[in-house]
Structure 1
Amino acid sequence: MNSIRTFLAHAVRLEAEAARRFDELAEHMATHGNQEVEQAFRQFADFSRLHLADAMARAGFRHISDLPADGYDWPDGEPPESAAWWGVDALMDVEAALHLALESERSGLAFYQTIANDSTDPRVKGMAQTFAEEEAGHVALLEAMLARRPIPPAAGKAGNTF
């Protein structure tokens, strides 16, 4: 991807979708009464909205502007951070929600890192690298949250809880 406007249109679409999905997960965690994970997902939604606002401001967008349907170049045909989302339902537990969020953030990281590595436009390369670094921080936060999850009783050890 070698056009800053095309990159920003992709970033706007990706981050808008990510914010919506994290809001959905936060609401799901609220119904389960898990305030810590709910707040974490709300923070991730806010991170996505910050990326969205940054991309929109840099592109001069006043509203989310779509490219033509054939204008997007997604790795699997849809925005990376939404590729793993099959929907949140009442059976999804905290661990499954965290794994879903982690997979989503890893997909976003890979998308931005690939563009940073492959683009010949220095502006695209720099902005994609910045977004990739921020996504890497989100991945690290989710990995830390998962590492603190309780060890199942079958494993014979007591663990931390959320």
Structure 2
Amino acid sequence: MEEIQLFLAHAIQLEREAASRYDELQAMMQSAGNKEVAAFFADMARFARRHLEEAMQRGGFREIPQMHWSEFRWPSGVSPEAAAWEGVDALMDVQSALLLALDGEDRSRSFYSQVRDATQDPDVRRFAAEFAEEEAGHVEALHHWIERQHAGR
């Protein structure tokens, strides 16, 4: 990916999907009575929206860029967040919800890392590296929550 605007449009779409999915997980955990995990997912949705806003500012977008699905250059043809969330189930337990979120964050980290490693554009490389690092932090946070769930059993 050699165009910063195209890269940022991908980042915006990815973070938009992440925020939406975290909202779903937060609502599921809230209805299941797990306020602590619901609050964690609400925080993750806020982080995704913050990243979305940062990408929009960096790209100079006033509105979310509207692209046809065929214009996106996802590694597997679908956004890393969308691919990970196909298994959302209203009856999902906490562990499954955390693992699903982990899969999405890990796919996102991998996407940004791949862009960082493949691009020749220094701005794309810099932003992709920064976004990959942020996603790695989310992966770490999810591992922490998964370990907490195992310890609580």
Q: Does the aligned pair in 2 maintain the 1:22–1:44 contact within 8 Å?
A: yes
Cα deviations by residue, 1:119-157 (Å, 9 ceiling, x for unpaired): 10000000000000000000000001111113xxxxxxx
Question: Structure 1 runs of 4+ off > 6 angstroms?
Answer: none
- Superposed, 1:2-151 pairs within 5 Å as 2-86=2-86, 88-150=88-150
Q: Partners of 2:90 and 2:118 in 1: how far apart?
A: 41
Residue 69 of structure 1 deviates from its aligned partner by 2.9
2-side partners of 1:62 and 1:104: how far apart? 27
How far did 1:84 drift? 1.6
Secondary structure at the aligned position of 2:88 is classed as coil
> Which blocks of at least 5 consecutive residues in structure 2 are unaligned?
none
Name the SS of the counterpart of 2:78 in structure 1: coil
Q: TM-score, normalised by structure 2?
A: 0.95
**What is the count of residue pairs matched by the alignment?**
153
Structure 1 residue runs of 5 or longer lacking an equivalent are 151-158
Matched residue of 1:61: which SS? coil
SS of the residue 1:109 aligns to: helix
136-145 or 60-69: which moved more?
Answer: 60-69
- Please give the alpha-carbon distance, in whole angstroms, between the structure 2 residues aligned to 1:53 and 1:93: 31
Instruction: Give the match's secondary structure for 1:7.
Output: helix
Q: Partner of 2:26: helix, strand, or coil?
A: helix
Q: What is the CA RMSD across the aligned residues, in angstroms?
A: 1.2
Which residue of the partner structure matches residue 160 of structure 1? Answer: 152
Give 1:160's aligned amino acid.
G
The CA deviation string for residues 32-82 of structure 1, in whole angstroms up to 9 with x for no partner, is 111111011111111110110011111111111122332110112111012
CA distances 1:81-128 after superposition (whole Å, capped 9, x unpaired): 120212533320000000000000000000001111111000000000
Residue aligned with 1:49, SS: helix
Between the aligned partners of 1:70 and 1:10, the Cα distance in structure 2 is 12
Q: Which has the larger radius of gyration?
A: 1
Letter in 1 for 2:70: D
Question: What is the distance in 2 between the residues matched to 1:104 and 1:146?
Answer: 14
Bigger helix share: 2
TM-score normalised by length of structure 1 = 0.90
- Please tell me the residue identity of whatever aligns with 1:42: A
